Amino acid sequence: MSVHVNKYTPSKAEIERRYTNIRRVMQDSGLDYLIVSGSEYTGFEGAVRYMCGFHILHRYAYVVIPLDGDPVAVFPREAIWVGDHGATFIDQQEFPAHCGEWIANYLSAKCARKVGVYGLEYVINVRDYSALAKTGIELIDFDVRFDYARAQKSDEEMVSVRHSMEVNKAGVLSVFGAYRDWATEAELMGVAENLFAAAGTARKTMDMICSGPNGSIRPQMVFPTRRRIQASDAIVYGLEIAGEGGHWVEFSRVLAPQGVDAITQEMFTAYQEFHELVKEHMKAGTTAAEVHRICVKPFEERHYHLGHVSGHSIGMTMIEMPRIGEGYDFVLPENMVCSMHPHIMTEDRKHSLYFQETYRVGESGGEALSGVPIKIYHGGEAEF
């Protein structure tokens, strides 16, 4: 039987780089150990894969990282045959009946005093957290500091990021190419999902739509249904995927077979101005808050309501910190990757616009990774 080898598996040097960066922040925070948690919850499996190479197929998993010494990968016993554990690049792998109890006993035996937890806000299994809390060990929320430590992508990671974008672009283009009168929302999404599955994304897709009648778009993000699309509709297929290497990207454009109405067109013009500002100002040395403050000016000048931050850092976890918004003074490093997708709407909330582009932070400005013009598409396109 042939075995598929993922060409995006990190090199030894890349693995060492990741651990060096994370341990530097651990030391600065006075941690003895760090627990990294991951879950099948879409987009939240990536931290475990980042630190040990395992791609969660079902349930959850952990990596326990000492400040000094070898890490341990911990998987639930009932999932011993679920997922390819051979892809794990950590030698010690444990399969206890109760992961939380095992980790609690392990840390207690090591006399751990201060332990960081990545995933404390969203990810960690409640049963396992309860077991850890009973030990009396000081548990520190490490979500933000972990994300900051991995924000800058290596050249090796950028190869995976760019591959994911090519897959995502192909998915969006397949939707445009397959459009026909009276196709259903779900049928068109199925065209993209078929392409994604064939490209090896596995379960790493998080797809949705925004739509509206008569060339407008409502603010709600929803699942596609079997509703038939009318030529007068405007619709955004918001496609967020990770390719074989596990790096998430977000990319979408507006599909409006008969064009958009005047209000949506003005919103679209503001969106184009926003992205020009991102290209100019998303550069190394600026802060996330500064980029947000400068780039949202086209929306503020038109008195649009901003229902979402400008964007966020993105990597092997779909949503990483920092947000590109007010209050985030994180200084952007070169090769950080950010998804930019402000959710804007009119004061009466009847018109909205939301679509995605993924950027690389450059030395002198932001690089839009798709390379696709920001314009309105009408369906039937064979290329961007």
75-84 pLDDT per residue, tens: 999 999 999 9
> Which pLDDT does position 3 carry in this prediction?
43
Contact 208, 220 (CB under 8 A): no
> Which pLDDT does position 260 carry in this prediction?
98
237: nearest Cα among 222, 226, 249, 257: 222
Contact 67, 23 (CB under 8 A): yes
pLDDT digits (tens, 9 = 90+) for 117-160: 999 998 999 999 999 999 999 999 999 999 999 999 999 999 99
pLDDT digits (tens, 9 = 90+) for 328-358: 999 999 999 999 999 999 999 999 999 999 9
Round to whole Å and give the CA distance between 344 and 339. 16
CB atoms within 10 A of CB 81: 7
Angle at CA of residue 189, ends 187 and 190, nearest 5°: 65
Give the 3-state secondary structure of residue 89: coil
User: Above 90 in pLDDT, residue 309?
Assistant: no
The predicted model gives 259-282 an average pLDDT of 98
- What structural domains and CATH numbers belong to the chain? 12-149 (3.40.350.10), 155-368 (3.90.230.10)
User: Above 70 in pLDDT, residue 187?
Assistant: yes
Round to whole Å and give the CA distance between 234 and 211. 6
Round to whole Å and give the CA distance between 129 and 39. 14
Provide the whole-model pTM.
0.94
Here the tokens at position 7 are 């060409």
Beta strands 366-368; 357-361: pairing state: antiparallel
Beta strands 138-141; 114-118: pairing state: parallel
The predicted model gives 226-237 an average pLDDT of 96
Our measurement of the distance from residue 272's CA atom to the centroid of its chain's CA atoms, rounded to an integer in Å, reads 23
> Which pLDDT does position 2 carry in this prediction?
40
**CA distances from residue 297 to 55, 84, 276, 357 in whole angstroms, order as listed:** 40, 47, 12, 18
Share of the chain above pLDDT 70, in %: 99
Burial 304-331 (b: 16+ CB within 10 A, else e): beeebbbbbbbbbbbbbbbbbbeebebe
Report the mean per-residue pLDDT for the chain.
Answer: 96
Contact 148, 321 (CB under 8 A): yes
> Which pLDDT does position 308 carry in this prediction?
74
> Which pLDDT does position 6 carry in this prediction?
82
> Which pLDDT does position 65 carry in this prediction?
98
